[in-house]
Each structure stands twice: as structure tokens, then as C-alpha cells.
Amino acid sequence: MRHNKKFNHLGRKAAHRSAMLANMAISLIEHKRITTTLQKAKELRKYVEPLITKAKEDTTASRRVVFSYLQNKNAIIELFGEVSQKVGDRPGGYTRIIKLGKRRSDAADMAFIELVDFDENMAKETKKKRTRRSSKKSSAPKEEAPKAEAPVAEEAPAEETTKVEAPVEEAPKAEAPVAEEAPAEEAKAEDAPAEA
């Protein structure tokens, strides 16, 4: 039985799988983004994030541990140099997986995996969000200023409207009795034929 053995074997033997993940990790470190299948990207995330965490502490021991996994000097130099400086203050979550849809040939789920701190497009979007938030904050005090002026403006028109409303109210009162007299005459006319 294989209870609690959750990792994906990816249809490969152990040696093939470890070599493939090491090669993908080297490519990810060097190019900062690679396109692969969704399942391989998920397994690569589990493989490379502990190595990046280990690279935060630049000691001989941690370099040797990471080199035992990657076996590539250029990738080690890149990882302990540029990558570790960018992710130094991040407490994990160094990679991002974005789904791309199905591959035409075999309908496999495709995705790209990238290092979070190296994507300039995503960084620009966060800056836009900050400017939007600041514009909302700056618009809020502008709304409060007209509200303070509004009560002063309401008092003056309120007096004018009462002056204007008084003559308007008199005119309908004069029309109302005329309208009432006409139905009274009609009622008398209707009653007269009934009496005859």
C-alpha cells in the first residue's frame, strides 16, 4: 500500500526524475521563467524553493548542499548572487505558476513557472494599484470639502424657495374651487333628469 505517499512520480524512475528536476531548476535560476506542463511545474516548485531558502545564507556548507542538488557552478553563482539578494526579505513563496491552457498535441495542461521578484510586469501592476489607492484617498478629502460648504448653500436657497412657493400655492387654490364648481353643476344636471 502507498498511503501518504503524495508526490508525483511524473512517470519516471527516481534517477530520471531527480535529473529532470535538477535541470529544470538550473534553467529556472538562469532564465527566471520556464514553460512546462502544470504537473512538472508543481513538482519543480517543491524542489527549487528549499534550495532558494538555503541560498539566503551564503556559507560554504549551504553552497555545498545546493551544489549536491544542482551540479552546476554557473547556477550556484547566480543563485547565491542575484537571486538571493532579491529574495532576501521574502519569507517563502519565491515562485509563481500561471496556467496557459492545453497543449494542442496531447492536451496536456501547460503553465509557466517564474521567480516572483524578477517579473517586471507584475511589479508594474502593483505600482498601479498603489496609485489607484492614493487617488481614492486624495478624492475623499475633496468630497468632504463640498459637504462642509453644502449646509451654508442650502440655507440661502431654502428661504428663496419658500418665497417662490407661496405665490404658486395660491394659484392652485384659486383653480381648485373652479374645478369643484364644474362637477357640482354636472351633478345637478344629472339629478334633474332623474327627478323628471
Give me the percent of the chain exceeding a pLDDT of 70.
62
Give one DSSP letter per residue of 108-176, joined into a string. PEEEEEEEGGG-HHHHHHHHHHHHHHHHHHHHHHHHHHHHHHHHHHHHHHHHHHHHHHHHHHHHHHHHH
Residue 171 belongs to a domain: no
Number of domains in the chain: 1
Specify the higher pLDDT residue, 29 or 128.
29
Residue 7 belongs to a domain: no
* Least confident residue range of 36-45, 50-59, 110-119, 151-160: 151-160
Query: Rounded to 5 degrees, what are φ and ψ at 118?
Result: -105, 0
Diameter over CA atoms, the chain: 125
* Least confident residue range of 84-98, 99-113, 156-170: 156-170
Domain enclosing residue 28, as ranges: 14-118
Residue 181 belongs to a domain: no
Specify the higher pLDDT residue, 114 or 118.
114
How much is the average pLDDT of 9-19? 96
**pLDDT level of residue 183 (50, 70, 90 thresholds):** low
Q: What is the structure's pLDDT at 61?
A: 97
Residues belonging to the chain = 196
Specify the higher pLDDT residue, 82 or 181.
82
Q: What is the structure's pLDDT at 72?
A: 95
Residue 142 belongs to a domain: no
List the CATH number of the domain containing 96.
3.90.1030.10
Residue 99 belongs to a domain: yes
Residue 139 belongs to a domain: no
Residue 127 belongs to a domain: no
Residue 44 belongs to a domain: yes
Give the pTM: 0.61
Q: What is the structure's pLDDT at 196?
A: 43
**pLDDT level of residue 11 (50, 70, 90 thresholds):** very high
Q: What is the structure's pLDDT at 25?
A: 97
